[in-house]
Amino acid sequence: MSCLLVIENAHLRMRVNPQGGGLQSLDSLTHGQPVLWDGGDSALFPMLPLANRVAGNRFAFRGREIVLPKSPVDARFFLHGDGWLQRWQVASLTQTGCVLTVRSQHPCGFDYQARLHYQLRDQVLRAELTLTHLGKQPMLYGLGFHPWFCFDAHSRVQFGASGFWPEGEHHLPLAWQGDIPPDIDFTRAQHGGDRWLNIGYSGWNGVATIARDVMNITIAAQTPWLMLFRMSGGSFLCLEPQSHPVNAHQMAGQPGLVALGPQESTHLAMEIAVETAAQGC
């Protein structure tokens, strides 16, 4: 079992697991409550060299057919890539943060070095993921973060979006829709339907908030794509900033994906801020 890195300041404590490069937990010391939900595997993990799924587990890129690797955790897809399944090396460790690195290479053309920086700044966790392509031939890349937030019956979530992709067969998106049904429209804060939801949103303004009993949590990332996942009866809500929509590899123009040549890099950052909720009269 991996040795967890325990890092804390006056407000937050995180446990980082080099196996998978994710967080095992994030707790608010100010409120004495967990911020992230740990279902036994990971409370937050990086997604690279792609996020989510690609139809047929293959795509076309510059005249080549790229057949994605098989995943040990999913029979159909190279699910969330392989970064969350690998053991990362601890490059540095300080009182307030750590840097992890991983090297990965696949026959399909993925050949990368990744750097993951977690840092606590007062009441904010900042996660930065940088991927550098090392292969001789260009390759297509995408990044994401997959946090699991604690979310009970009294919690509410709010964020803006211009449209969404409903979930279809094998968890792949159906056609984009601009009219968001009320129960999955979080422009105004609401709890939403207590049911299975696996929805990709577009036109996200880069900020989402979760209101809980004693704390407000703000998620921020510079990307217009946000994935929401929850299960009926579950005590969690996943809000996943991604550099591209689900199945972007098969969409016209391959939106959000980045073609990298040798030694070129792509980057994604996310912040999770925890504040005390305002108390009513």
CATH of the domain at 164: 2.70.98.10
Q: Which residues pair with 149 in a beta bridge?
A: 36, 237
Q: What sign does the dihedral 84-89-92-96 (CA atoms) show? A: positive
Q: In terms of DSSP bridges, do strands 124-133 and 265-276 run parallel, antiparallel, or are they unpaired?
A: antiparallel
Residue 40 is predicted with a pLDDT of 75
281 in any annotated domain: no
> In terms of pLDDT, which residue wins out, 194 or 239?
239
184 in any annotated domain: yes
Contacts of residue 152, Cβ cutoff 8 Å, sequence gap at least 6: 212, 235
132 in any annotated domain: yes
Angular region, 96: left φ>0, alpha ψ -120 to 50, beta rest: alpha
Domain that holds residue 169: 5-276
> In terms of pLDDT, which residue wins out, 100 or 281?
100
Residue 280 is predicted with a pLDDT of 53
Contacts of residue 203, Cβ cutoff 8 Å, sequence gap at least 6: 160, 161, 162, 163, 224
97 in any annotated domain: yes
Residue 278 is predicted with a pLDDT of 80
Mean pLDDT to the nearest integer, 51-64? 97
Q: pLDDT per residue over 164-184, tens digit each?
A: 999 999 999 999 999 999 999
- Read off the pLDDT band of 35 (50, 70, 90): very high
pLDDT exceeds 80 at position 279: no
253 in any annotated domain: yes
pLDDT exceeds 90 at position 39: no
227 in any annotated domain: yes
Residue 281 is predicted with a pLDDT of 42
- What CA–CA distance (Å, rounded) separates 235 from 226? 20
Domain count, the chain: 1
271 in any annotated domain: yes
Q: The whole model's pTM is what? A: 0.96
